[in-house]
Structure 1
């Protein structure tokens, strides 16, 4: 691993919180328990606002620090790391908004974990990449908007949580907005069971004629394209933290298994030293891009995010093979990480989505 980007006191505090609050609950979280107590405690440590200025309630560090925090959590629990990514992404969205009223209303509480929030941007991100139609529609009403539609799954949600999503305007263009819990016309519905990430607080969201006042608009049609350009590097780079933590945990599993089985494990692909070198290179690249913030080249960011998915898949499979039959038990962390890594490669932008965008940008550059 590269040298830590976090202050020692923060890193140690998060490690202690993980040991005390998260590690004993990992199996329960894998089976559907939402890690609310951990998330709120992490917020009190500043775990969602590493890249947020101190004046706005953050730690005044950078995106590289936020990536490391997510990786720290993912090394123990990929599901919880995903919810940390959801929360820190919502902080990132608010930070990049020009709506100071929305920032004042939500940002400090989000950064401290007092208010939890789900990012409902999967559909919009896929729509903008030409993959699927957009599900939410909005029309103007006075200074605000009325929104209708449904999102099949949004994570890090629950009673009292905030929703952040995007809609297509009837008049053309797009809108990004926040919907507080309990807003009239907003309902949550249970999702089918997943093979993993069951504790991620994932629901179907239905919006029926929901009023979005001007103070809850994060980006209007005029600013939307520029706003998406501002948030996209951070959206992608912080996701890599999930993969980094899974890979490091897989290396730990391989190292432990090799104490007894090195004589036969040596015939497997993706050995400990090889994975460690690739992880170091990925994390170094990610940290360098994250320090560029919004200015990070999008093609480089997309490539790093794709590499994070690919390395996660290889490392978790190798760890399960190194562990042998023990890695096939439902209670095995190696088996759980296989499912978590598959999610890293499926969650928006999925690996196929990333490769689509990479190919398009490469073709544009070649032209």
Structure 2
């Protein structure tokens, strides 16, 4: 399916910002988002490691579409572990199957909890419902008929996490400035003006929020590694193909195929092991953060090596090496960005030393 239907669209996705909705929905029908979802909600229950491998295979063709896969499958991850059963039952089967498309707007919250920026959304009570105001600068995989999962500070209570229909009155999607890549992800500035959130849309209330974030954070982070692994796979293919004709000169470059492949295999294996722990809520956060940072670093190294191995052809805009460079940069910038990861890693290492 990927070779037949996604590969022919990659140039349009990258250069024209095509949002491949038909492919995204078909991927859902084929089980691209439900590996870590339990059977009662229509999932396959094969685990987070399988979900990461699916994302990896998609990223080997198009990291933009793999990022949408992460948005969708991570929304399912949130819902699977949501303490509010009403929200889980309302949304999870449709999100896991791709029938309902979902953005995850948790970047601001994750950065806020790491003391990087202030929280952008606030909420007040209206009976059992919430009234939400504020804006998020960019959230992906949105559109008419989609939902977005976000969090807000609830007055005098803490934080709540909830799903909102993109068609909800008071919610506005504003176009973002053009990005250098990932334009085919339907990324918008999301503005909330007295948006009412019903009680059955709330995944976690303030009293549940801290434990809920602890539970879902490892999966949120590990899931992104699949994007990086696929980008590295695609880079290795360029290196291998380039060496068929230019190995006699490419041998003088740093970061050769065998070295990169060895690092990739080690990180992929470690990610699989950590994913099994995340499934059963036994994760240690520090190695998860370190693995995610390593995926960023190796993506940057592998894509640069691919472009150099390709030579002058790798500098052509239509060459895959150019797209991969921009895709890898996103892996290192998307929340948690490499600098964010290093900040949290530093804090946890200091805690361990002080203990």
Q: Structure 1 residue 361 and structure 2 residue 345: aligned?
A: no
1:314 aligns with 2:298: no
Deviates more, 1:271-280 or 1:34-43: 34-43
* Distance in 1, Cα, partners of 2:204 & 2:239: 46
- Tell me the SS of whatever aligns to 2:142: coil
Q: Residues 136 and 148 of structure 1 are in contact (CA less than 8 Å); yes or no, is this contact kept in structure 2?
A: yes
Unaligned runs of 5+ in 2: none
1:25 is matched with which residue: 9, 16, 33? 9
Match of 1:179 in 2: 164
Matched, 1:236 2:221: yes
Q: Say whether 1:344 aligns with 2:331.
A: yes
Q: 1:141 aligns with which of 119, 126, 135?
A: 126
Corresponding residue number in structure 2 for 1:215: 200
User: Counterpart of 1:50 in 2: which secondary structure?
Assistant: coil
Deviation at 1:21, TM superposition (A): 1.2
For residue 292 of structure 1, give the secondary structure of its aligned residue in structure 2.
helix
What's 2:258 paired with?
273
The residue correspondences of 1:56-71 to structure 2 (distance < 5 A) are 56-71=41-56
Equivalent-residue separation in structure 1 for 2:12 and 2:45 (angstroms): 34
C-alpha separation in 1, matches of 2:37 and 2:27 = 15
Aligned to 1:258: 243
TM-score (norm 2): 0.98
Aligned-residue CA RMSD (Å): 0.7
> Does structure 1 residue 91 correspond to structure 2 residue 76?
yes
Q: Is the 8 A contact 1:139 1:171 kept in 2?
A: no
Q: What stretches of structure 1 of length at least 5 have no aligned partner? A: 1-16
Question: How do residues 120-199 of structure 1 correspond to structure 2 at under 5 angstroms?
Answer: 120-199=105-184
| Aligned position for 1:3 | none
Query: Could you tell me whether the CA contact under 8 Å between 2:173 and 2:190 is conserved in 1?
Result: yes
Match for residue 48 of structure 1 among 13, 23, 33: 33
3-state SS of the aligned residue for 1:291? helix
Contact kept in structure 1, 2:34 and 2:43, CA below 8 Å: yes
Does residue 107 of structure 1 match 2:92? Answer: yes
State the Cα deviation string for residues 54-97 of structure 1 (Å, max 9, x = none): 11111110000000000000000010000000000100010010
Distance in structure 2 (CA, Å) of the matches to 1:224 and 1:38: 34
Distance in structure 1 (CA, Å) of the matches to 2:84 and 2:320: 43
In structure 1, how many angstroms separate the alpha carbons of the residues matched to 2:28 and 2:244?
Answer: 38
SS at match of 2:183: coil
Q: What's 1:335 paired with? A: 322
How far apart are residue 181 of structure 1 and its match? Answer: 2.5
Q: CA deviation at 1:102?
A: 1.0
TM-score, length-scaled by structure 1: 0.95
What is the rounded CA distance, in whole Å, between the counterparts of 2:167 and 2:226 in structure 1?
32
Measured after TM superposition, the shift of residue 192 of structure 1 is 0.3
The residue that corresponds to 1:5 in the other structure is none
Q: Match for residue 292 of structure 2?
A: 305
